Amino acid sequence: MAEKKPNLNMKNLNGGKSNAVRSVIFMFLVICLTMLFVSNMNQNIAQKAEVAISDVIMRANDPESNIAKITVSGNTVDVTLKGENQPTETSRKDGSGTLYDMGLKTLDEFCEGVSENEVSKCQQKYPVIEYKEDVNVWGIVLDVMLTILPIVAIVIFLSWMMRQATAANNQSMSFGKARAQLYGPDKKKVTFKDVAGNEAAKQDLTEIVDFLKNPKKYEKLGAKIPRGVLLAGDPGTGKTLMARAVAGEANVPFFSISGSEFAEMFVGVGASRVRDLFSKAKKNAPSIIFIDEIDAVAHKRDARGGAGREDEQTLNQILVEMDGFDNDSGVIVIAATNRVDMLDKALLRPGRFDRHVNVTLPERKDRLEILKVHFKGKPIEADVNLEALAKKTAGSSGADLANIANEAAITAAREGHKAISNADVTESFERVAIGPERKSKVMNEKERKITAYHEAGHAIVGHVLPDSDPVHKVTIIPRGMTGGVTWFLPPEDRSYKNVYELKDILARAMGGRVAEKLIFGTDAITTGASSDLRNVAELSKSMIIEEGMGSSLRNVVFPNEATGYYTITTGKPYSEKTAELIDAEVKKLSDEAAKRAEEVLKANKKVLDRLAEELLKHETLEEKELEPILKDAKLPITAKLYK
C-alpha cells in the first residue's frame, strides 16, 4: 500500500469573527477619513492671514486696490488678492449688516468722477463682492454623521442577524458531526519513551506502529492489520497515553473522542457521529481513532433493548463501520475501558477488536521508572529515596504516582524549600494515600488515649500474625477522615493472596476495636472503628461471593451478570437461601477475626500498653522506632486459630 501523507486541512471556523473584525476596521477608516477632512479644512483656515475689517474696507475703496474678491460668510470676511485663486486673508465683521453699512463704497461710488472712457476699466478694478451663508464645519460633519450612522447601525445589525442565523443553521447541521479532537504530527509528540513501565503492553502496540510504518512488510506474507485494539486496565494506568504514543511513533493523525460524546438525547445522533468520525479518519488515512471509555456506548445488549434505543444504534453503527473497513484503509481503532466485562461480545470478536492489551498496575521496578519520569526536571535533594517510595506505593497507578510527585513539589514550595526533600516526598505520599493532616482537629487527652490504644492494637496484631505485612508506621495525628493511621507495607509485590493472608488482614483490621474493648470495657468502644468494620465486611463478602473462599460455600462464586435469572428476579446473582448462607459466612469470618485479634492482644498486654504510651509521647513512630517495642510481642499458643 502506497504511503499517504496525512491530510490535515481543517475548516475555518472563524468566519463570524472575521466579518466582525472587518466591520470594525471599516468604521475605523471612516472615522479617520472624516477627522482628516475636518483637520485639513481647519488647517486651510488657519493658513490665512488675519487683518482688521477697517483695513479691508480702506483697501477695497482704493482705486489702486489689489483685492480681487471679498467673500462674506456670516461674520467672517475672506479676502482674495489679485493673482490668487484662494482666500489669503480673513477678517471678522463687527456686528451685523453688509460691508456697505460699514463704509465699503458701491460700484457707482467707486467709479464716481471717472470719465466715460475709463468707467469700464474702473469697474474691472472694483473687487467682486460675494455674500454666502455662514459655514459651520463641525455642524456639517455632525449632520453627515447623523445621516450615515443610522445607516451603518442598520447594516451592522442586519449583518449580525445574518451571522446568528448562519451560526444556528451550522449548529443544527453539525449536530450529527463527530466532536473528535485531532492531534496531528504538528502537535507535541508522545512516544513510547514517555511511557514508563508496561513493557508487555508496549510490545503488543509496537507491532501496530510497525504495520503503519511498513505495511508492505506484512502484506507480502498475507498478514492483515488488526482492525481494532482494546486497551483494558484500571483507571490511571496510562491507557490514553499508550494510544497517543502509538500515534506519535507512527507519525499519523490521531482522532481522540470519549464514548459519552456519541450519546445524545435524540435517537440517531450517535450513529451519525460515528459515521462522520470514521469518514474523517479515512480521509486522513493512515490514521488512528481513539475511543476512550468505550463502555459508555458499547455495553452488553439484552432482551430489554430495542432498535429505537440510542445507545444500541450507536453500538450497531460502530460494529458496521469496523466491519466495513477495507484492508488498505489504513485506519486503526484503539479503545480503552476499565470494564471489559460490560462490553458487548460482538465488539470483542476477531475482525473488530482483534487484539486485547492489558494495561496493568505498575510493578515496583515500573513504579520506580514512572517516578523518575515525573520527578525529572524537579529540583530534589540528595536524600530523596525514590526506590523506597516505589516500595511503599504498591497498588498505585501511574496517575497516583504523578500526583505524588506534584504534591511533593507543592509541599516543598509551601514550606519554602529550594528543593524537594525526603520529608516532602513522605508527606505527599501520606496526603495522597490517606489525606492531609487535620491540624485544626484538637483531641482531648481521653480521645488521644483511645486513639493510641486503637492504633497500637492494629500494629501488634499485624506484627504478630505470621501472614500479615510488616508494620511500617503508626501515628495518632488525624489525617483525612481518620483519627490515626497504621501502615502495613508488603516486602514485595504479590499477584495473589491466600486464605491465611486474607484472614490475617481481617484480624488486624479488628485489632483496633478489640483493643478499645480490652482497655476501656465492652460498652466503651467508640465509633473510631467504623471504617475498619466496613473494610472487614467488604473483604469478607468478596472472599465468599467473588473468590469462593467460604467454608460451606467453598469453590462457589456468584458473578453479577445482568442477564442472570436471579439478577432479573431478585436483583442479586443468587437466591434468598444462598443470601442467608453468605450472611452467615460473613459473620463467621468477622467473629473469627475478632477472636484472633483478642487472643493476640491478651497475650501481649504489656506490649500494648508500652506502644500506646510511646504514641502518646511521640504521636508518630516509624519502622525503626517500632522494632524495639514490638520485638517482645509473641504469637499465642492456640495455634489452631492461625494455621
Element (H, E) at 514: helix 499-520
Band (81; pLDDT cuts 50, 70, 90): confident
Q: Look at residue 161 and tell me if it is in a domain.
A: no
Compute the mean pLDDT over every residue in the chain, rounded to the nearest whole number.
Answer: 79
Q: Look at residue 22 and tell me if it is in a domain.
A: no
Closest CA to 447 of 479, 476, 473: 476
Find out whether 234 and 362 touch, Cβ atoms under 8 Å.
no
How far apart, in Å, are the Cα atoms of 498 and each of 503, 511, 543? 9, 20, 10
pLDDT at 167: 64
pLDDT at 258: 80
How far apart, in Å, are the Cα atoms of 244 and each of 190, 251, 252, 357? 6, 10, 10, 15
199 and 305 in a common domain:
yes
193 and 85 in a common domain:
no
Find out whether 420 and 379 touch, Cβ atoms under 8 Å.
yes
Last residue of a domain, one of 135, 166, 193: 135
pLDDT at 457: 92
**455 in active site:** yes
Checking if the pLDDT of 510 tops 90, the result is yes
Count of the separate structural domains present in the chain: 4
Checking if the pLDDT of 606 tops 50, the result is yes
- Torsion of the alpha carbons at 414, 420, 421 and 424, rounded to the nearest 10: 50
CA 611 remoteness from chain centre: 47
605 and 555 in a common domain:
yes
352 and 211 in a common domain:
yes
Dihedral sign from CA coordinates of 266, 267, 269, 270: positive
Element (H, E) at 256: strand 254-258
237 and 276 in a common domain:
yes
Largest CA distance in the chain: 159
Alpha-carbon distance of 615 to 485, in angstroms, equals 12
Q: Look at residue 153 and tell me if it is in a domain.
A: no
The structure's pTM equals 0.63
Q: Look at residue 323 and tell me if it is in a domain.
A: yes
Residue range 473-484: mean pLDDT, rounded: 83
pLDDT at 460: 92
593 and 478 in a common domain:
yes
pLDDT (tens digit per residue) in 118-135: 778 788 788 888 887 765
Measured in residues, the chain has a length of 643
Element (H, E) at 128: strand 128-132
235 and 352 in a common domain:
yes
Band (610; pLDDT cuts 50, 70, 90): very high
350 and 368 in a common domain:
no
pLDDT (tens digit per residue) in 315-325: 777 787 777 65
Last residue of a domain, one of 433, 458, 490: 433
Q: Look at residue 19 and tell me if it is in a domain.
A: no
Residue range 201-218: mean pLDDT, rounded: 82
Angle at 310 between CA 305 and CA 314, to 5 degrees: 100
Q: Look at residue 37 and tell me if it is in a domain.
A: no
pLDDT at 538: 93
Kindly report each contact of residues 73-80 with a partner whose C-beta sits within 8 Å and lies 24 or more positions away, as own/partner.
73/131, 73/132, 73/133, 73/134, 73/135, 74/133, 74/134, 74/135, 75/134, 76/134, 77/53, 78/48, 79/51
Q: Look at residue 439 and tell me if it is in a domain.
A: no
For residue 49, what are the β-bridge partners?
89
Range with the poorest average pLDDT among 212-221, 437-446, 610-619 = 437-446
Q: Look at residue 499 and tell me if it is in a domain.
A: yes
378 and 337 in a common domain:
no
CATH of the domain at 418: 1.10.8.60
Alpha-carbon distance of 328 to 322, in angstroms, equals 13
Residue range 332-353: mean pLDDT, rounded: 83
pLDDT (tens digit per residue) in 157-198: 877 877 777 665 555 444 445 555 565 555 567 788 878 777
Question: b/e for 553-581, b at 16 or more Cβ within 10 A?
Answer: beeeebeeeeeeebbeeeebbbeeebeeb
List the catalytic residue out of 369, 455, 599, 614.
455
Amino acid sitting at position 446: K
Give 555's DSSP letter. T
Q: What percent of the chain has pLDDT over 70?
A: 79
580 and 498 in a common domain:
yes
CATH of the domain at 479: 1.20.58.760
Looking at per-residue confidence, does 276 or 463 come out higher? Answer: 463
CATH of the domain at 212: 3.40.50.300
Closest CA to 401 of 233, 545, 197: 197
What range defines the domain where residue 350 resides? 181-358
Cis peptide before 636 (omega within 30 of 0): no
388 and 254 in a common domain:
no
Q: Which residue is listed with cell 463570524?
A: 16
Range with the poorest average pLDDT among 29-33, 218-222, 529-533, 593-597 = 29-33
Last residue of a domain, one of 104, 120, 135: 135
pLDDT (tens digit per residue) in 258-315: 877 776 554 556 677 778 888 888 887 788 888 888 887 777 776 555 444 666 777 7
Tell me the Cα Rg of the chain: 45
pLDDT at 327: 56
Q: Any residues with CB less than 8 A from the CB of 448 and at least 6 apart, and which?
A: 476, 616
CATH of the domain at 92: 3.30.720.210
Question: b/e for 30-47, b at 16 or more Cβ within 10 A?
Answer: eeeeeeeeeeeeeeeeee
304 and 198 in a common domain:
yes
